[in-house]
Structure 1
């Protein structure tokens, strides 16, 4: 067996402690990886894989990166789901003995703290999940902002909540699997860390509490298990972050409108479908926030619309104040634009990883709080100036400090008498050395004499070989070169010692002083964090007020009723891509009592999809407290928005386009309530025409008739046969998109008007899309032939289609009633049949 070098033994010991992580092992100016880690790093980072001898006859794979390029390479590894252990040199390299090394932190997707690896306006959540029977516990934390929350929820709601949070990493017990977790980077922990008593005690110890009653989770065992597991995981990866978690929020998902992944995508809340980026999304339109923390809060609001009317009105009132006060709004937004990310800065200070420049940024943000408060009638209670912290940083830290402490340029003169004395000593010694070369040239007569310095030999006097006879007797030889000799004098050695000792002491003292200042600032962490959150809230409401003024939004009236009344509504995103006044506004009336289901027909490209989406977006904006793009609006709060929009397949799941459509429709029918809003766009397109019409009508009837459903629905369709439902079902209303035909050309008016439509103008749209002229002409010929055939043969319509006489002796209606097997009918089938018979009777009387 080959004998290993000491450094190899050191590496293997450290690697054994972190088997699941890539160990970046600091060697001088490089972070090196070895063995399988090296092969992986070379592949993922596209760096050279080489080898190194680490014992007689022992060569191991090696791949390294420069220490100053760490963040860029770290980002690549973490974004691909890898865990990385950063192993630093803990003692200076003296050339004698093995340098001490240890892992200072483990970076995982959910525990990133490096600013360069984080999105400014998005949280980076670490979540923990545990499930048992029909319930699940979910906890999440963002260690960069100190947000720590937990909940216990039905297992069926787990995917929805994870979809909202989009955690970068999810911790689960070993052996736990769920389809809900497939999209996320998973970390598995031993099940014992999810034990309820172990987790409870960890939470009590962390918060130094005797009970969890005050945190709202004392009787939620799954919520406790998830939260306790997160604390255990952080202790092993980012232990400094534990001190930043000062509170735990217990919440319930029933307080918020539910938005599933389909709805978030179909309504393009956070990403536009065209480019897959924020461009074209609702967030891109309403996000005029000036701070990163305000941007994160707005994103959370958009992902969690409220159901609490009182809280919504409070948000509306705050937005209205800024809406009505233009000058204070402009001034506050301008000041907020100068505020750095205080949430993350104070946590970097508390984690002892802040740089001097970040401390200055924190100070400048805190300085602006009094000025912001002057521009408000009433400031949030949590917003408090921090004059002591501002004064401390001003007094201690230089205005333009170096990048890191220990460079001698961080602590301001006058803050430490000892540091000032050392700096003066160093300056005097350097001034002596600066004059020494001139003095020695004059004393010795050697014009080429030089005074220099290097890290190995220190300060020296260099004399070229021809001038060696002129060297004074007090010169002591230090180093021999090919063309010169280097000397020192007792006095030079004395000053060298003074300079080096002073500089070393300066660096050490400055580092200690900086840490002391950070500790003093960190002691005010909770107060600063509260102010940061208050500033984020102000940023959001001022931003939404600016949106309302800039884009012509109005304050909606919110109620607990079941009506949605919109006058002059507009699509908030589409109108931004059109010229001023080009978007055609439309009205909407939905009510569970008399206008529950709107059947919307009209040509392709006429604006049906835009219209039904805009209604959903207006409702959603109203329920985050925002003003809405309409002349006026009354919104009865909805508990959930469902959308079934677009055609797509799911190849990994083995589902065709039509199967995906049916699965999503089934999800809506099984989960919607009378308080929900449903958006259906072209149900039944993925199969044959007859099947599609049949399914579409059956879905519409089910939504209308089911006693536990009856939800407000906008149903856009090309199946004009569905317009007949309005005559049969009392809460169904027909609307269509107006079209004008001028000189054989079709003009889309984009106006929603009452009544049904019987044409789709599909060939006209095909022509606009650029299909070859011969294809368009041929399509017109085929259409004409099909329409001629229909005149000779009745077109298929969903049953029933017979005109029946009045109910009486020998009446077909009476005969139909007598044939009914009432005992075998479901309540839904019975009420549908009753509506049908009522319609037949009325038609017979007409």
Structure 2
């Protein structure tokens, strides 16, 4: 923390420095009049992030300091920008009216907002959680991680190795991560520097302190009831979260009522590479579309947040999957029920975050009205679910509590039109408080009284244009035009002279003014007290309403699955415990929605098991759809295990416990890793974490190195996957190396397939259809031509390709690859030369490329093609 210095420190800056010292590391927004000001280093930072003017405050050359500010009413515009930039922001407000202040205005920090701790709706993303995370690394290698969203009350804990916790970090995407200050190097080795982080002292990460913090918060003797008693590292991480909340003055945590364990054994393992490669929640390309955008038709924010969790944590418990599918089926079959439910869900809003604001005493009057609207719609939803013949829907009905007492209290007491802040009055209905009604009568009768005064004085003075008016400076006054000044009575007191008129006051008006203003102050005080009492009454229902919010989120997500299934013609999958994956006419859920109107998506069948067809080697050219086929297979499996219908005409999904994908790669230059190194790292992670029920999807393994190295690596990986003694992982292996087709002859569970193409003249048409058998061509030069490559380059590439093939044939005559010693199988990479190929080579040698016109070149290519056709 840098203290802002002046040659002679003013009282204001003394106050600023004292407050700044209490919040080191936070950017201090210091309220001065109608502005929030920042000083010194804070001003420099704020000006860059907010793009506001950086000025200097000068009290002489020696005392210049940086200064940047913005109007206080623009806080909701600027605060989100600061927080999203990773800043911790201390909001310092004036705690008293400057008119009443003796000396300098009293100020204090009213809120400390960090990336991971905020209740501000303008900072929070509606359909995303805002998690604060803590990581604890133990010396024995165990790693604990905890996540809390203070805006919803969710509190999770998990424990495992560094890879597992890194995967959770990538899934939960916390806005801020806490860790122990002395463990910075170790933390960055495991988790990099991609998160907003904040370090805490090492004494906070002690077992006894953490357990005491948690048991004190939950008011329990032990943590056994939460199922985390033995998770020492996780408990320490959770304790660090609670400590940080107290340190940042967030002590009202009644809505954080449970600590939930993230049970690794309940969810499909998706490593960080797979989450990225399958684009489950984030696209890899700037204008890409992730899976969540296709699946999310939720109408409540908490439903959207839950669906996001379901997407990242697919189930591997058949009973729970079947329960979800049963409910989705009910909504698919009964569109009237689905539409009626949506009508009741849409007005509910973010019930989860609303009730959290009640718990922390931060709810405003309009939000309280929204809470009433939400409760109003719970009873009809409960009744509709209870009448359903579907057990899963009846179960949801039992979990809903209409909270009738609270609904009726809010309905009885609050007006229908409310201010956004509670100190503006006008909130409560007549009959709620007798004293309030009496004071309102005094206040509301004022207009009649003032009219009586005005009429009486007109009659008394004969001034027909006389008006009784009010302003904040003089209060109530009588205004008389200059033409009637001579008619003013002697008992009027002149208060202000205008160009064309004079203003006067009387003792009667002053007495009335005091009475009115006193009534208004009392009305404001009574309404503030009544609103606080209403918030306290609502706080008694926090637990029940949180349960309602969770149940409604589940209902909303299930209806979302039914909605997308109906719109996109999905089918109910048959999810089983066996190891068979049988997809009929599978489609990619994202790509099919992005195609031009009228262009159909070409569906494909995929069959994998652990007995007859464990590994499918898929060959075919670029652009043929190999990567899409791999991704759609994984997405169909994951959607099924989320409890969703799937894009196919039929799907038998033998549950998987892990999904691994190696699709696409890019350099990680910050860590000194090339594309090939990233590819090998991801592949190593797959091979080292296989299980018998894994689904493995690999695309173009080995392409980042030389042809021979690449073929050797890809060959060895496929062999390893087939011959693994414990795990017969179902695998799709897309490759350009046609030589791998030889494997099917020697390994019984390896089958060759290709994505078909059709040659028409000099063009290649991609059929995007998977068919049995390997492909013998890559058509890379055709693709280059389609991309607009100059003809000279395309012709030269053809010439070089045939030359290289000829050299390879000569090399093969000297040493055949099939003669390389191996484990009971043979490898044949190159085919023997033949007369037709020699004729092609001779024709190419006679061509003068530099004098050849495009038309002549095409004719020559056609001639070569006819020679090859005879060979076929």
TM-score (ref. length: structure 1): 0.91
Given that residues 582 and 653 in structure 2 are in contact (C-alpha distance below 8 angstroms), is that contact kept between their aligned partners in structure 1?
Answer: yes
The 5-angstrom pairing of residues 145-224 of structure 1 reads: 145-177=152-184, 178-179=187-188, 180-224=191-235
Asked whether 1:137 is paired with 2:144, we answer yes
The correspondence for 1:266, drawn from 262, 277, 286, is 277
RMSD: 2.4
Q: CA deviation at 1:716?
A: 0.5
Matched residue, 1:658: 676
Task: Find the aligned partners of 2:697 and 2:451 in 1 and give their Cα distance.
Answer: 80
- Does the CA-based 8 Å contact 1:149-1:251 persist in structure 2? yes
Shift of 1:604: 1.6
Q: Distance in 1 between matches of 2:537 and 2:445?
A: 33
Whole-angstrom CA distance in 2 between matches of 1:255 and 1:361: 36
Question: How far is the alpha carbon of 1:108 from its aligned partner?
Answer: 0.1
Equivalent positions of 1:454-465 (< 5 A) are 454-463=471-480
Partner secondary structure for residue 106 of structure 1: strand
- Cα deviation for residue 780 of structure 1 reads 3.1
2:90 match: 85
Is 190-199 or 574-583 further displaced after alignment?
Answer: 574-583
Paired with 1:234 and 1:364, the residues of 2 have a C-alpha distance of 31
* Aligned-partner Cα distance in 2 for 1:796–1:66: 82
Counterpart in the other structure of 1:492: 509
Q: Name whichever of 667-676 and 137-146 sits farther off.
A: 667-676
Q: 1:49 aligns with which of 40, 48, 54?
A: 54
Q: Please tell me whether residue 293 in structure 1 is matched to residue 310 in structure 2.
A: no
Three-state SS of the structure 2 residue aligned to 1:677 is strand
Structure 1 residues 577-656: aligned runs within 5 Å: 577-578=594-595, 579=597, 582-656=600-674
Q: 1:421 aligned to 2:438?
A: yes
- Tell me the SS of whatever aligns to 1:612: helix
Once the two structures are TM-superposed, the CA of residue 467 in structure 1 deviates from its matched residue by 4.6
Q: 1:433 and 2:438 equivalent? A: no
| 1:844 matched residue in structure 2 | none
Partners of 2:229 and 2:816 lie apart in 1 by 57
* Distance of 1:412 and 1:772 partners within structure 2: 79
1:634 Cα shift?
Answer: 1.7
From 286, 307, 321, give the equivalent of 2:316: 307
Give 1:54-73 correspondences, 5 Å limit. Answer: 60-73=65-78
- The 8 Å contact of residues 159 and 165 in structure 2, kept in 1 or not, is answered as no
Aligned 8 A contact 1:160 1:261 in 2: yes
- Check whether the contact 2:781–2:794 (CA below 8 A) recurs between aligned residues: yes
Gaps of 5+ in 1: 803-815, 817-831, 838-846
CA distance in 2, matches of 1:489, 1:571: 82
How many residues matched? 807
Does the 8 Å contact 1:54/1:60 carry over to 2?
A: no
Contact 1:558 1:636 in 2 (8 A): yes
Q: Does structure 2 retain, via aligned residues, the 8 Å contact 1:642–1:677?
A: yes
The alignment status of 1:322 with 2:322, answered yes or no, reads no
Which has the larger displacement, 608-617 or 27-36?
Answer: 27-36
Q: CA deviation at 1:435?
A: 5.1
Q: Select the residue among 671, 679, 694 that pairs with 2:712.
A: 694
Distance 1:56 1:741 in 2: 80
Shift of 1:209: 0.9
SS where residue 642 of structure 2 aligns?
A: coil
User: Which range moves more in the overlay, 216-225 or 437-446?
Assistant: 437-446
Inter-CA distance 556–76: structure 2 relative to 1 (3 Å threshold):
same
Larger CA deviation: 665-674 vs 192-201: 665-674
Q: Report if aligned partners of 2:23, 2:90 keep a CA contact under 8 Å in 1.
A: yes
Residue aligning to 1:510: 527
Query: What is residue 833 of structure 1 aligned with on the other side?
Result: 823
Displacement of 1:315 after TM fit?
A: 1.3
Of stretches 39-48 and 746-755 in structure 1, the one that deviates more from structure 2 is 39-48
* 3-state SS of 2:270 partner: coil
3-state SS of paired residue (1:117):
coil
Shift of residue 45 of structure 1?
1.6
Residue in structure 1 matched with residue 869 of structure 2 by the alignment: none
1:739–1:749 CA contact under 8 A, matched in 2? yes
Name the structure 1 match of 2:536: 519
- 1:128/1:140 contact within 8 Å kept: yes
Q: 1:2–1:56: 8 Å Cα contact kept in structure 2?
A: no
Q: Distance in 2 between matches of 1:419 and 1:702?
A: 81
Q: Is the 2:148–2:154 contact (alpha carbons within 8 Å) kept by the matching residues of 1? A: yes
- Classify 1:767/1:57 alpha carbon distance in 2 versus 1 (closer, same or farther; 3 Å): closer
From 235, 244, 249, give the equivalent of 2:260.
249
Evaluate the alpha carbon distance shift between residue 546 and residue 238 of structure 1 in structure 2; reply closer, same or farther with a 3 A threshold.
farther
Q: Is the 8 A contact 2:253 2:359 kept in 1?
A: no
Shift of 1:194: 1.7
Closer, same or farther: CA 661–507 of 1 in aligned 2, 3 Å: same
Question: Is the partner of 1:224 in helix, strand or coil?
Answer: helix
Q: Call closer, same or farther: CA 1:53–1:687 in 2, change over 3 Å.
A: closer
Contact kept in structure 2, 1:26 and 1:32, CA below 8 Å: yes
Q: Which of 690, 698, 701 does residue 683 from structure 1 map onto? A: 701
Q: 1:482 to 1:95 in 2, by over 3 A?
A: farther
Larger mean CA deviation between 155-164 and 70-79 belongs to: 155-164
Deviation at 1:70, TM superposition (A): 0.3
* CA deviation after TM superposition for structure 1 residue 95, in Å: 4.7
1:94 aligns with 2:99: yes
* CA distance in structure 1 between the partners assigned to 2:10 and 2:282 by the alignment: 53
Q: Deviations for 1:219-266, whole angstroms, at most 9, x for unmatched residues?
A: 221111111111111112252442221111123223211212221121
What is the TM-score of this pair, normalised by structure 2?
Answer: 0.88
Structure 1 contact 5–55 (Cα < 8 Å) conserved: no
Distance in 2, Cα, partners of 1:667 & 1:106 = 41
In structure 2, relative to structure 1, the CA distance for the partners of 1:798 and 1:567 (3 Å cut) is: farther
Q: How far off its partner does 1:479 sit? A: 4.4
Partner of 1:342: 351
**Partner Cα separation in structure 1 for residue 603 and residue 814 of structure 2:** 36
Q: Which moved more, 1:575-584 or 1:552-561?
A: 575-584
Native 8 Å contact 1:235 1:242 kept in 2: no
Q: Is the 8 A contact 2:819 2:826 kept in 1?
A: no
- 183-192 or 9-18, which moves further after superposition? 9-18
Q: CA deviation at 1:775?
A: 2.6
Alignment of 1:562 onto 2:571: no
Structure 2 residue matching 1:242: 3-state secondary structure: coil
Other-structure match for 1:669: 687
Change (3 A) 1:611 1:391: same
Deviation per residue, 1:423-457 (Å, 9 max, x gap): 11111123323554454344334456443333233
Deviates more, 1:441-450 or 1:232-241: 441-450
Shift of 1:418: 1.6
CA distance in 2, matches of 1:545, 1:44: 43
C-alpha change, 1:780 and 1:53, in structure 2 (3 Å) is closer
Change (3 A) 1:190 1:792: closer
Secondary structure in 1 aligned to 2:647?
coil
What is the match of residue 107 of structure 1? 113
1:234 touches 1:242 (CA, 8 Å); kept in 2? no
Give the SS at the match of 2:432. Answer: coil
Deviation of 1:113 (Å): 0.8
Return the alpha-carbon distance in structure 2 between the equivalents of residues 151 and 801 of structure 1: 53
Where 2:491 maps in the other structure, the secondary structure is coil
- 2:384 aligned partner: 375
Match of 1:387 in 2: 404
